[in-house]
Amino acid sequence: MKQLYIAGNWKMHKTVAESVALAKDLVAKLGASGQKVMIAPAFTALASVAAVVKGTKIRLGAQNMGPEEQGAHTGEVSVLMLKDLGVSTVILGHSERRHSYKEDDGLINKKVLLALKHGIEPILCVGETLEEREAGRLESVIGTQVREGLKGVDAAVLAKLVIAYEPVWAIGTGKTATPQDADAVHAYIRKVLAGLYGEGPAKSMCIQYGGSVKADNAKELMGMANIDGALVGGASLKAETFVPIVEF
Ligand code: 13P
């Protein structure tokens, strides 16, 4: 069976103490898991959670980062600061960043290149709104987000990057894309990647699905040919709901 990459995006939840408690619980319960696992706490909890996951199989992720290495950028967190804490992955272009904070493809691309430059694995999120899907614009929206997000990314480092397909209408709504629908979009993303980098790299690219992933739909989603893992929001906030997804 293929190795899956299951990531938990804790979003704007949990105090430091709550984050540490969950991380400890996950280390205890997932220590022997064969899957690749990542958790992304809030910035404020990164240092404390880093101490808990250090030396374990759980990777530490951040939910965002600034587009510059350092300087006068009030409120931003830099790639160097993340690296300093032991962060190995960063979620970029999440739809909540794109829609609530107006992040565009150019800005997201800048962050992707910066993360790669510093050896941090970017998870580039792409996804269409319901309006875009219903207007028949699914492929053009996803295609643009993938192409623009990867601008300047060399074929040699492509394998260090992950793409997450998260249809905006499925995030936090309880609505999931059907496994077949999700798989078709993942296949389309591979087609775009093949156009950019060739069939081989497109085939081996890790593409996660995100949007109301739960223990009871994980098996079917993860069983699809083009789905290589999950980016989990709500269900990643408790060990009781996250562990069964990793170990479906
Ligand atoms: P939910 O799993 O809560 O739908 O969130 C998905 C998500 O946005 C993960 O990044």
CA of 55 to the centre of ligand 1 (A): 27
* 54: DSSP letter: T
Q: pLDDT digits over 196-218, tens only? A: 999 999 999 999 999 999 999 99
Whether the model pTM is above 0.75: yes
Residues 115-143: tens digit of each pLDDT? 999 999 999 999 999 999 999 999 999 99
With 90 as the cut, is the pLDDT of residue 176 above it? no
The residues spanned by each domain of the chain are: 5-246
Pocket of ligand 1 (CB under 6 A): 9, 94, 166, 171-172, 210-213, 231-235
Which of 12, 63, 232, 236 has most ligand 1 atoms within 8 Å of CB, for mutation? 232
From atom 1 of ligand 1, which residue's Cα is the shortest distance away?
233
1: pLDDT confidence band, cut at 50, 70 and 90?
low
- Of ligand 1's listed atoms, the one at least distance from the Cα of 212 is 4
Structural contact between residues 227 and 186, judged by C-beta atoms closer than 8 angstroms? yes
Q: Domain 5-246 carries which CATH code?
A: 3.20.20.70
